[in-house]
A and B are shown apart, each in its own frame.
Chain A
Amino acid sequence: MKIYVCVKQVPDTSGVVAVNPDGTMNRSKMPTIINPDDLNAMEAALTLKEREGATVVAISMGPPQAGEMMRELLAMGADEAVLISGREFGGSDTFATSQIIAGGIHHLGIEEGDLILCGRQAIDGDTAQVGPQIAEKLHLPQVTYATEIVKDGNTYTVKRALEDGYMKIQVKSPCLITCIKELNEPRYMTVQGVFEADEKPLLILDYEALKDEPLIEADTIGLKGSPTNIFKSFNPPVKGQGEMLQGSVKEMAAALADRLAAKHVI
């Protein structure tokens, strides 16, 4: 069994966002982290590997600097890492990105019994589109917002978190599942893993390597192939600090009513 884990390097939200003149983010100028939800996907993959045995392949699209992130995933326990990287892919929106990652996975091969795990969404774009789009482009079933994944042979029973409850879905592999933070607590790298990460395989797939893939067409990848037009990128305005009221419900309600009355809201 092969488990692909799709991972994105994202700007550290505690830092300042650098923006290119075309409105896209200048990732090379920002401190970066591994997208938090993707770490939950990685943890799910490593847990499945420990229980059932599997080859865990971390896959990402990004600039060459993302190579160190791939090494960190290898240090956590991934067996292989694949970085799709090339100028032709730069500036891709979710449509183009999912096209390219799906092309990459198709290039590497996906068979019965295999699984693709993604984080629900990346903290920079918050779209939650790439995972589902990869599944669509590979014609695979998908289950989103997983809080529990149980494997039984080639069938997965996935508990999906919804706003007002949950849903249990059975799905046959190969399939794609997107993970949320309630699924698990991601592990750290291990000491041994850190020292051995450089010896594990890190494959770089550039445009040349993927250009013959049916999904990779010059006019559907990169900034040119992205139907999204970015109107503006900005740092969200800093919100004022909230205040937690203390005491019994009655006391808190009274205190709140006083505040609202003082501001002439009520």
Chain B
Amino acid sequence: MILDQKHLRFQKLCRQFAETEFTKELLDRLDETGEFDWDIFNKMSRYGFCGVKIPKEYGGAGGDYLSYALLVEEFARVSPVMSIYANTSNSLGGGPLMLAGSEEQKQFYLPPVAKGEKIMVFALTEPGAGSDAGGTTTRAEEQPDGSFILNGRKTFISGAPVADYCIVFAKTDPKQKGSRGISMFILDMHLPGVSCGKPEHKMGIKGYPTCDLIMEDVHVAKDALVGQKDKGFGYAMKTLDGGRLGMAAQGVGIAQGCLEEAIKYAKERKQFGRPIANFQAISFMLADMATETEAARQLVYHAAQLKDAGKEAGQACSMAKYFAAEAANHVAYKAVQIHGGYGYINEYKVERFYRDARIVPIYEGTSQVQQMVISGMLLK
């Protein structure tokens, strides 16, 4: 796919911002402390990155899916965790409202999210409901006045400790089995009864805290329900379609970042009297890495184009996520291998990329879930 001038310009902006702002000092600090960095988030917000895909009428820039994919790819190429900072509002945070929110909900919640003044995150996973999201046990009991009481525990909720709002899925009709009878709510994180667990110590993506979200008799108003009652599971799946595209782009960015580091190192590092890039064992690894990265990129851009054209893109998004997530790991593995012992030391960028890459085939639908989606469509 050949990018047009507008997308090339946007890619250039994302690349300039990432290469200049995501300094080694910042990335080391995020990795060491695991804490959210408000300064960089606020700067990203000022330039409009949090609202790339949010429509103009709700305070965003009204960009398309391809722009969104370019944003995540370019940020992840320098720092996967930074790509999450810019991703959430455009994807799992703002996505459900754009998909199913009422006009009032969109007008109220989206503009501050697009501007980065408020942070909105997404809570579907539970201790007993991961890939099987239909196993949701969080309960929302409807009251006579139409309000709801929420009780339950969500787990691995990225951004929960810093969030103002959270999209929560809860069972409204326990009589309905599996994925039915689940509804989608927008939860104000400052309400009584809402609390967060201890931030998890993760392998990678450090600096964007992840924790459990606990709801104990949380009373939410009637208008906290987003979309139709009992139809929440469908909204979750559709939101994840778009989210998958973002995480696929993250995989491409990680792979590209690893490839560039590996090329640089292979040219610099001398063994047996010559740069290791001159050995076929290394140069062929680089060729494989570049090919896999480019194939992943084309799958991502193609899926984005399908979505932008309003065509069915579920299978394309799953293929892109599956392939790009695996590619990121293959490429990161080889990048560390080319670096030898130095690749195992955290002075070198590939060490962090390798840890960050590992989550991509897990979150927003594991590679195995993507295989289920793809094969399910083939065999229906």
Contacts and interface: CB of A to CB of B under 8 A. Distances in A.
Interface of A: 68, 71-72, 75, 188-192, 194-195, 197-198
Contacts, number: 45
B267 interface: no
A68 B48 contact: no
B47 A195 contact: no
A188 B74 CA distance: 15
B237 to A, nearest CB: 28
B62 interface: yes
Contacts of A71: 5, 9
B5 A194 contact: no
A191 B16 CA distance: 12
Given A189-B13, A194-B13, A68 B47 contact: no
A192 B10 CA distance: 10
A111 B8 CA distance: 37
State the 8 A-B residue pairs at the shortest beta-carbon distance, nearest first.
A191-B48, A191-B61, A189-B13, A192-B61, A194-B10, A192-B48, A190-B48, A194-B9
A191 B51 contact: yes
Contact of B63 (A68, A189, A191, A198): A191
Nearest to A72: B9
Contacts of A194: 6, 9-10, 13, 61
B10 A188 contact: no
Contacts of A190: 13, 47-48
A195 B63 contact: yes
A75 B61 CA distance: 13
A188 B9 contact: no
A188 B13 contact: yes
B113 interface: no
12 contacts: A71-B9, A75-B9, A75-B13, A188-B13, A190-B13, A191-B49, A191-B61, A192-B61, A195-B6, A195-B63, A197-B6, A198-B6
Nearest to B63: A195
B61 A189 contact: no
B36 interface: no
A195 B13 contact: no
Contacts of A192: 48, 61
Contacts of A68: 5, 9
Nearest to B10: A194
B61 A195 contact: yes
Contacts of A75: 9, 13
Interface string B7-24: 001101100110010000
Nearest to B6: A198
Contacts of B6: 194-195, 197-198
A89 to B, nearest CB: 24
Contacts of B63: 191, 195
A197 B6 CA distance: 8
A191 B47 CA distance: 6
A191 B9 CA distance: 10
B124 interface: no
Contacts of B62: 195
B52 interface: yes
Interface in B37-88: 47-49, 51-52, 61-63, 67
B177 to A, nearest CB: 44
Nearest to B20: A188
Given A188-B47, A197-B6, 9 more contacts: A71-B9, A188-B17, A188-B20, A191-B13, A191-B61, A194-B10, A194-B13, A195-B61, A197-B9
Contacts of B17: 188
B51 A189 contact: no
Contacts of A198: 5-6
Contacts of A197: 6, 9
A202 B356 CA distance: 43
Nearest to B62: A195
Contacts of A72: 9, 12
A205 to B, nearest CB: 21
Contacts of B67: 195
Interface string B73-106: 0000000000000000000000000000000000
Nearest to B49: A191
A266 to B, nearest CB: 35
A68 B13 CA distance: 13
A188 B61 contact: no
A194 B16 CA distance: 13
Nearest to B51: A191
A12 to B, nearest CB: 13
